Structure 1
Amino acid sequence: MSASPASTPAPRRWVGTSWKMTKTRAEGAAWARALAAAAAERGGEAAWAGVQPFVVPPATALSQVAEALDAPGTRRVLVGAQDAHWEDSGAWTGELSVPQLADAGAQLVELGHSERREHFAETDERVALKVSAVLRHGLLPLVCVGETAQQRAAGRSADVVLTQARAALDAAGGQRCVLAYEPVWAIGEGGREARPEEVAPVVDALAGLVRERGGDPARHPVLYGGSVTVQGAPGVLAVPGVDGLFVGRTAWRAEGFTALLDLAAG
């Protein structure tokens, strides 16, 4: 068993993907085996030095993916869950607790995605409860923040994102918490790839919030996600304050994920 991701040294960059409601157990395991093969071609444990890879499969495939990644070169890939309940157990039909997810192999938990906020009434207060639960059990929270197109048009991007991030960081209390800036207008099938100049002001505001809280920026990395492509990734990674990428469709094929890891490690 590897060390707790909440206590390990900070990597230079992060690259991860969430599969949302896609992939069967067999498909997830095949993706993991393909990634392990790519790592072996790049020197095994030396592959993608300085980059922290992570993958967030659906809960049904979590244990299979974790087992398939238990191979030279991919043992340090963090495996995550797409959500968690804030209680450790109880009468919460259909929910999964952090201990249950950890038992299935999760080391990281994605929280507060805009789809959860929009369709499942996820509030900043609820996200904060979940952040506390994740950290209580030694896992790493990855909190998604982002504004809608209407909020951006109204000039409220930074205000909306900072409100969401502030609730998560307050709950973290200085413990490691990864932030993923995912503008709602940039994600999903209808989203468009954000330009670096659109990403920069919001990322700068998030970095300012971390400093304002007296936190160590290395313990609160800021990732960008939203219609990320292999072609557009270098421009986003060059934005000051962007510590990595949180990718959707481009990384759902192991070849796409590998290409992004190669870029981040280069």
Structure 2
Amino acid sequence: MRKIVIAGNWKMYKTQKESSEFLQGFMPQLEKTPANREVVLCVPFTDLSVMSTSLHGSRIQLGAQNVHWEDNGAYTGEISGGMLTELGIRYVIIGHSERRQYFGETDETVNQRLKAAQRHGLIPILCVGETKQQRDKGETESIISNQLAKDLVEVDEQNLVIAYEPIWAIGTGDTCESTEANRVIGLIRSQLKVADVPIQYGGSVKSNNIDEIMAQPEIDGALVGGASLEADSFGRIVNYH
């Protein structure tokens, strides 16, 4: 039985005060969330400490948005696995398209970060996906296959979540058709050694399309951007029908 993982990626949004206000509206909505759904909030680094305290003993798992491959060193602006685990962090997003596009992440550095996360007992959420240009050229399968081949070298698939995020659907309002997302996620699964790796869909996931997305048999959850910033919206998503 594959685990269902619904994760909110807050990106560079919410101060500590705003994150606390969010929880006041969101936490009560989890009373009706089925026990087999893992709910994760991946928040900015500055929110991790206060959120760790606020979420202690709750069913919400806390996630970070990146981790460095070294345990310490002269890496200004980076965060190590040990710094995250000290705060009780459970998940970490790695290889998000925004990190690849804006901050020079490569499949090689993604692989290093994945191994570092697992070394510290963190569960990585590995993001893969194609651009609109690549999709239009019919390269979706080859691009994703190549990403997986390079990203997962010496990575333990037993301790992993993968998020299929078509880059052209992130923050654009364009959602990949649920049946197409299901097809691509099936292809991703066929390349894995471990059959029960949870594979999420991400890309303009909203309260009005989550039911259709989660009805697909290959999809094991969602990585949610903008719709995770509002308590009622994210509450509806984690309580999909």
TM range (shorter): over 0.9
How far off its partner does 1:11 sit?
Answer: 5.9
The reply on whether 1:169 has 2:160 as its aligned counterpart is no
Q: Tell me, what secondary structure is at the counterpart of 1:175?
A: helix
What code does the residue aligned with 2:233 have? G
Deviations 1:24-51 (A, max 9, x none): 01111221232222234x3xxxx42210
Deviations 1:217-237 (A, max 9, x none): 22x210000001111111111
Structure 2 counterpart of 1:230: 207
C-alpha contact (below 8 Å) 2:5/2:222 kept by paired residues: yes
Structure 1 counterpart of 2:174: 192
Q: Tell me, what secondary structure is at the counterpart of 1:92?
A: coil
Alignment root-mean-square deviation, CA = 1.6
How far off its partner does 1:66 sit?
Answer: 1.9
Structure 2 counterpart of 1:24: 15
Alignment of structure 1 residues 102-141 onto 2, 5 Å: 102-141=85-124
Structure 1, unmatched stretches of 5+, are: 1-9
Q: Tell me, what secondary structure is at the counterpart of 1:65?
A: helix
* TM-score normalised per structure 2: 0.94
What code does the residue aligned with 1:61 have? D
Task: Evaluate the alpha carbon distance shift between residue 262 and residue 173 of structure 1 in structure 2; reply closer, same or farther with a 3 A threshold.
Answer: closer
C-alpha contact (below 8 Å) 2:2/2:198 kept by paired residues: no
The reply on whether 1:160 has 2:143 as its aligned counterpart is yes
* TM-score normalised per structure 1: 0.86
What code does the residue aligned with 1:49 have? A
Higher relative contact order (CA 8 A, sep 6+): 2
Size of the alignment, in residue pairs?
241
Structure 2 counterpart of 1:6: none
Q: Tell me, what secondary structure is at the counterpart of 1:54?
A: strand
Structure 2 counterpart of 1:204: 186
| CA distance in structure 1 between the aligned counterparts of 2:112 and 2:37, rounded to whole angstroms | 29
What code does the residue aligned with 1:133 have? A
Quick one: which of 14, 27, 34 aligns to 1:36? 27
| CA distance in structure 2 between the aligned counterparts of 1:33 and 1:88, rounded to whole angstroms | 35
Runs of 4+ residues over 3 Å off in structure 1: none
